[in-house]
Amino acid sequence: MLKSLPLSEVYRLLEPGPVVLVATADKNKDNVMAMSWYTMMEFEPPLIGCVISGNDHTFDILKKTKECVIAVPTLGIAKKVVKAGNTSGRDIDKFKEIGFTAAKASRVKAPLVEECYANIECKMSDASLVGKYNFFILKAVKAWIDPKAKNPQTLHHLGKGIFMTSGKTVKIASKMK
Ligand SMILES: Cc1cc2nc3c(=O)[nH]c(=O)nc-3n(C[C@H](O)[C@H](O)[C@H](O)COP(=O)(O)O)c2cc1C
């Protein structure tokens, strides 16, 4: 027998990829926040749609600078990721206080996050849905990966402080590239 699920819980079923960090820079002040509401929209150039709340400092900086870095963390820095998602760059210097290392990106002023196994430099592609849905469509312009990271254990948000971590991979023949 199925039970009714509050609509507010739907996101917990459909949470997309791993929790990521969004790094921005405003007048040389770097900031970083956690994000899990995003989706791939195109293969090449890669387009990434992201919902970033209008209350977040990142919203203001991304709207203004039109660029950011999306960094993919792993289980080893999970507590730092949650802290980046529970504090605001308006109040603290998150790179310094939480302990992330900023590295220079090549195509954007926002920093790479050295502790993350993948970093994607992004520029604003379309801001037409920002006013209505806080939905930013970003274009990846450069991507970096740590070649030493084999089977990185990513974090997947289930809500209410619960996370799933990636584990076993399976290979299934598929037409998808
Ligand atoms: C696991 C996790 C996932 C989150 N996902 C999002 C998200 O997708 N969009 C969003 O606007 N905020 C999200 N947040 C909340 C922001 O990270 C949080 O509001 C943060 O304090 C904003 O920082 P800022 O003010 O420095 O930009 C998430 C927080 C956590 C802990």
pLDDT tens-place string over residues 66-110: 999 999 999 999 999 999 999 999 999 999 999 999 999 999 999
DSSP-derived letter for residue 145 is: E
The pLDDT confidence band at residue 4, using thresholds 50, 70 and 90, is: confident
Residue owning the nearest CA to atom 29 of ligand 1? 85
Domain count, the chain: 1
Atom of ligand 1 nearest to the CA of 82: 31
Q: Is the pLDDT of residue 42 over 70?
A: yes
88 domain residue, yes or no: yes
What is the spatial distance between Cα 20 and Cα 59, in angstroms, rounded to a whole number?
Answer: 15
Q: Which of 49, 59, 36 is nearest to 161 (CA)?
A: 36
170 domain residue, yes or no: no
174 domain residue, yes or no: no
pLDDT tens-place string over residues 103-134: 999 999 999 999 999 999 999 999 999 999 99
- The mean pLDDT value for 19-43 works out to 95
What is the model's pTM? 0.95
Give the model's pLDDT for residue 2. 82
2 domain residue, yes or no: no
98 domain residue, yes or no: yes
What is the spatial distance between Cα 104 and Cα 127, in angstroms, rounded to a whole number?
Answer: 25
How many angstroms separate the alpha carbon of residue 89 from the centre of ligand 1? 11
Cis amide bond preceding 147, omega within 30? no
pLDDT tens-place string over residues 136-159: 999 999 999 998 998 899 999 999
35 domain residue, yes or no: yes
For residue 138 and ligand 1, the question of a CB distance below 6 A is answered with no
Contact (CB, 8 A) for 53 and 61: no
- The mean pLDDT value for 17-24 works out to 96
Residue owning the nearest CA to atom 17 of ligand 1? 85
Give the model's pLDDT for residue 78. 98
| Amino acid, single-letter form, for residue 92 | I
Give the model's pLDDT for residue 17. 87
CATH number at residue 90: 2.30.110.10
Q: Which of 121, 122, 120, 118 is nearest to 166 (CA)?
A: 118
Determine the structural domain holding residue 105 and report its residue range: 14-165
The pLDDT confidence band at residue 16, using thresholds 50, 70 and 90, is: low
Contact (CB, 8 A) for 150 and 118: no
| φ and ψ of 28, to 5 deg | 70, 5
For residue 31 and ligand 1, the question of a CB distance below 6 A is answered with yes
114 domain residue, yes or no: yes
Q: What is the 3-state secondary structure (H, E, C) of 65-125?
A: HCEEEEEECCHHHHHHHHHHCCCCCCCCCHHHHHHCCEECCCCCCCCEECCCCEEEEEEEE
Give the model's pLDDT for residue 8. 85
Give the model's pLDDT for residue 3. 87
4 domain residue, yes or no: no
